[in-house]
Amino acid sequence: MKDEHLIHVENLKKHYLEGKIHALDGVSLDIDKGEVVVIIGPSGSGKSTLLRSLNLLELPTSGNIFVDGVDITDSRVDINLHRQKMGMVFQHFNLFPNMTVLRNMTLAPEVLLKKPHDEAEKKAHELLKKVNLDDRADTYPAQLSGGQQQRIAIVRALCMDPEIMLFDEPTSALDPEMVGEVLEVMKSLAGDGMTMAVVTHEMGFAREVADRVVFMADGKILETGTPEDIFDHPKNDRLKNFLAKIL
């Protein structure tokens, strides 16, 4: 049954240049409610393409993606409604520079979820307190460090009460000393039971927080398993080579 899993990806393909480049080459993946799945692999392996396909920011060439049992690749489905179930955090923070932190957080809930202004602000302040940034509610993004902006980007996504959080290399644009503060927020989310799919180069995070690690190369999933399976007992030669270079 398709709806046993929160996300069910079936034989997903994404081709560019009239089929010459296979960014995704028959990927199948299930993600269960409350599960943290971390996707690793070399540059150009298809990790981000897969993640961005989960809310159709990338339109697949073929294959199916079921979210809550609904095939979102079906053109009759209101994809904007399904995107509201998925928070997305990118490498770059994508905050509105002309709006305060608080307004960045309340805009979408008010416009898309029709939340009353007071209710949206209350929720925003609660989330800002969780990441120790409530004192920055009235500042503008340019007045914040990169790490602070990324923490705001995460809690802004949480303002929409998503079922799933997608993270596309959320720390890769940060200075090294700011990486930890963002990973701490993500660890806290995982601890609260949020369903998460994370593309990252942070192997320590993958080892510590993931329920399952997925290794991709050349548009395919070559190995999947627990962090212990992947990091301590890799089977695939391509995975062994990858780990030898980065660990």
Predicted confidence (pLDDT) per residue in 29-79, tens digit: 999 999 999 999 999 999 999 999 999 999 999 999 999 999 999 999 999
d(CA 69, CA 73): 12
Tell me which residue of 124, 126, 165, 171 sits closest to 147, measured CA to CA.
171
Dump pLDDT digits (tens) for 195-226.
Answer: 999 999 999 999 999 999 999 999 999 999 99
CB 9 within 8 A of CB 65: yes
- For residue 164, the SS3 value is strand
Average per-residue pLDDT in the chain? 94
Tokens of 174: 């940060």
d(CA 77, CA 83): 11
Helix (H) or strand (E) holding 128: helix 117-130
DSSP 32: -
d(CA 147, CA 40): 22
Beta-strand runs (E) in 119-182: 164-168
